[in-house]
Amino acid sequence: MASISHLNQFPCKTLSVTQSRTQITSKPGIFAPFTVKVTQKPIDRPWICAGGFSQGKPNFRVRAAIDDEWGPDKEEGSAVAVVEKEEELKPAEPTEIDRLKKALVDSFYGTDRGLKATSETRAEIVELITQLEAKNPTPAPTEALTLLNGKWILAYTSFAGLFPLFARGTLPLLKVEEISQTIDSETLKVQNSVQFSGPLATTSISTNAKFEVRSPKRVQIKFEEGIIGTPKLTDSIDIPENVEVLGQKIDLTPFKGVINSVQETASSVAKTISSQPPVKFSISTSNAESWLLTTYLDEEIRVSRGDAGSVFVLIKEGSSLLTP
């Protein structure tokens, strides 16, 4: 189409274009081939050469002005090419909030949602949360309910009432896989859910509640019913070759025949149980109400404070912050 020689050596030049033998077509927006010649004549249109070259390959736009755009000084029958440099898009630098969020999430590593956090780690987490709350981009979370919508995964809490769920021995052979809170701002409903997994099945326990806005940051929550999800039995049981008990290794190979028989029975039972609806029960005790104060909220992380000064840090499902 066109050639430009040594353009980077001339920060501000007049570029005149002479037509080649092929004439400019009459179709709008379509240009015939032409050559470009660089001259040293200064111009009074500084906007033509505005900006500088960025690193990487320059990106240019060429615009042709043919009629009277350049006034009486233009040569008869010539076209003028205007070369404008476009700044290349660069990835945005992490903001202070981004750095605080990453540092906060990194501090959760190895704490098992707060259960195993040392006093030193808790102090560090409290400090990071305080700094993040000071930069809250949503000062009135209850007036931005669309940000609250969706499923939030619990990443950390200081609420001791949840610790028995995490501790070994409280629920033998069961492991907490996920604790989440799902908010629907249109119906003003909240569902808290805990997912468990065991050697034979997975299940969940949930509570449904309604909430009322009481202030720009505070909502009142009233629990209505609990739900015990239908257990989903696994089709196979993974049995190790041996197990260590009181310092002695016990060979489990002789039990594999029995386990295979149990697996066949479990598969049959699983089909029967999976067809049953979940068990629901009403919640009507005096402790069925609570309040929640949202002190930080953006598109991917939420900090809430509850009764007795407990703190909850939740991350939006799908956020990159959930990726280890």
Residue-wise pLDDT for 279-304, tens only, equals 888 887 767 888 999 999 999 999 99
Question: Do both 100 and 223 map to the same domain?
Answer: yes
From residue 289, alpha-carbon distances to 73, 120, 186, 220 in Å are 81, 33, 20, 7
Contacts of 76 (CB under 8 A, 6+ apart): none
Same domain, 125 and 145: yes
Boundary residue ending a domain (85, 105, 134): 85
Q: What percent of the chain has pLDDT over 70?
A: 56
27 within a domain of the structure (yes/no): yes
Amino acid 70: pLDDT: 47
In terms of domains, do 66 and 194 share one? no
pLDDT above 90 covers what percent of the chain? 40
The span from the CA of 229 to the CA of 278, in Å, is 5
Residue 239: per-residue pLDDT:
60
CA neighbours within 13 Å on the CB side: how many for 282?
3
Last residue of a domain, one of 55, 85, 115: 85
Residue 323 pLDDT > 60, yes or no?
yes
For residue 319, count other CB atoms closer than 10 A to its CB: 15
Are 111 and 157 in a shared domain?
yes
Same domain, yes or no: 79 and 100 = no
Query: What is the residue type of 191?
Result: Q
Pair 318, 324: CB distance under 8 Å: no
Tell me, what CATH number does 118's domain have? 2.40.128.280
Residues 52 and 195 in one domain: no
Reported as a single tens digit per residue, the pLDDT across 143-183 is 998 999 999 999 999 998 887 776 665 555 678 899 999 99
Question: Who wins on pLDDT, 231 or 168?
Answer: 231
**Segment among 88-97, 128-137, 313-322 with least mean pLDDT:** 88-97
Q: Burial code of 239-257, b = ≥16 C-beta within 10 A, e = fewer?
A: beeeeeeeeeeeeeeeeee
Q: Which among 63, 85, 107 is the end of a domain?
A: 85
CA distances from 247 to 236, 239, 243, 244, 269 (A): 28, 19, 10, 6, 36
Checking if the pLDDT of 194 tops 80, the result is yes
Residues 6+ apart with CB under 8 A from 245: none
Classify residue 84 by its DSSP letter: E
**pLDDT greater than 90 at residue 192:** yes
Question: Within the chain, what is the greatest distance between any pair of CA atoms?
Answer: 102
Q: Show the domain range for 301.
A: 96-230+277-322
Count of structural domains, the chain: 2
Task: From residue 110, give the alpha-carbon distance in Å to each of 115, 117, 181, 297, 301.
Answer: 9, 8, 22, 24, 19
Residue-level pLDDT at 191: 95
Mean pLDDT of 28-34: 39
pLDDT at 245 (0 to 100): 58
Closest CA to 321 of 164, 129, 37, 108: 108
User: What crossing angle do the helices spanning 119-134 and 96-107 adopt, rounded to 10°?
Assistant: 160
Question: Is residue 203 a contact partner of residue 173, using CB atoms and an 8 Å limit?
Answer: no
Check: CB of residue 23 under 8 Å from CB of residue 16. Answer: no
Same structural domain, 47 and 162? no
Do the beta carbons of residue 141 and residue 161 sit within 8 Å?
Answer: no
**Whether residue 198 is found in the same domain as residue 294:** yes
pLDDT for 69 equals: 47
- Rounded to an integer, the average pLDDT of 52-69 is 47
Residues 78 and 102 placed together within one structural domain of the fold: no
pLDDT: which is higher, 2 or 265: 265
E-only strand ranges, 214-256 = 218-228, 232-233, 242-245, 248-251
Query: What average pLDDT does the segment 78-101 reach?
Result: 69
Tokens representing 74 are 């233009």
Is residue 244, in this structure, part of any structural domain at all?
no
What was the pLDDT predicted at 49?
41
- Are 111 and 68 in a shared domain? no
pLDDT for 85: 47
